[in-house]
Amino acid sequence: MDKREFLKRTLVLGTGMAVAPQMLSAVQRIDTPSSRGGEFVQPALGYAFDALEPYVDRQTMELHYGKHHAGYTRKFNAALSSEGIGKQDINSIFKKTSSYSSAIRNNGGGFYNHNLYWKFMSPDGGGEAKGKIGKAIKARFGSFGAFKQQFASVAGSQFGSGWGWLIVNKDGELEVTSTPNQDNPLMDVSDVRGIPVLNIDVWEHAYYLNYQNQRSKYIEAYWNLIDWKFVDALYSAAIS
């Protein structure tokens, strides 16, 4: 895949156009400002705060979604407004992250990364990856177990706060990477760029109440929650 094709596909995903119909509304809510004054709106969670127990506890979800994510959303909109950045899909903003303030970078990333994160988890999730993403993982990493090991290792060793990612890179291949703080692989400031198909929040606020300092136990628990259908929809859109 050449660079122009990659950017075209990134844009397609950014506007949600190439995603399976049943996933379209979810992805649109994630990527585009709503019509309510052009502000980005925090998407509904889609399950109860205690629905992910015992893997992610109710209090963590209440604080994480209700305080942290709500705060990123509010501050992102405030920064867009005060800096006079007009209505556009979020990928267009991320492509120019280097030319914007740290408020846009941190809160825009915080808004978007969590939108995905809530969707990657489901009370009905877990098990092995199926569909196109299942085949691609086996082809790229050798086995589902080998992929899990690499993902856990990269996310686990991200120094300080940040995110672990599975992305489709510029060559159209799956790649495991991590980003510091609220950065993501769509941002032009990211060392490794690509289209996200899975992430995990490894900030302490994501796991400290239940797992204290044991990030690896939280990552291990995450496999019980992953909604592979949503991952497969993002992957299919990224390569189509």
Tell me which stretch binds Mn ion (CB under 5 A): 35-43, 154-162, 201-209, 218-226.
Answer: 201-209
**Residue 101: what residue type?**
S
Size of the site for Mn ion (CB under 5 A): 2
In whole angstroms, give the CA distance from residue 166 to residue 178. 9
Nearest-approach distance from CB 69 to Mn ion, in angstroms: 7
H-helix or E-strand spanning residue 180? strand 174-180
Closer to Mn ion at the Cβ: 161 or 224? 161
Cβ pair 224, 122 in contact under 8 A: no
Cβ pair 166, 211 in contact under 8 A: no
Nearest-approach distance from CB 230 to Mn ion, in angstroms: 18
Q: Which two tokens stand for residue 174?
A: 């799956």
Q: Which residues, other chains included, contact 37 with Cβ-Cβ below 8 Å and sequence gap of 6+?
A: none
- Pick the binder of Mn ion from 31, 201, 227, 232 (CB under 5 A): 201
- Pick the binder of Mn ion from 203, 207, 218, 222 (CB under 5 A): 203
Under the binding rule (CB under 5 A), the answer on residue 183 touching Mn ion is: no
Nearest-approach distance from CB 44 to Mn ion, in angstroms: 17
Q: Which residues bind Mn ion (CB under 5 A)?
A: 201, 203
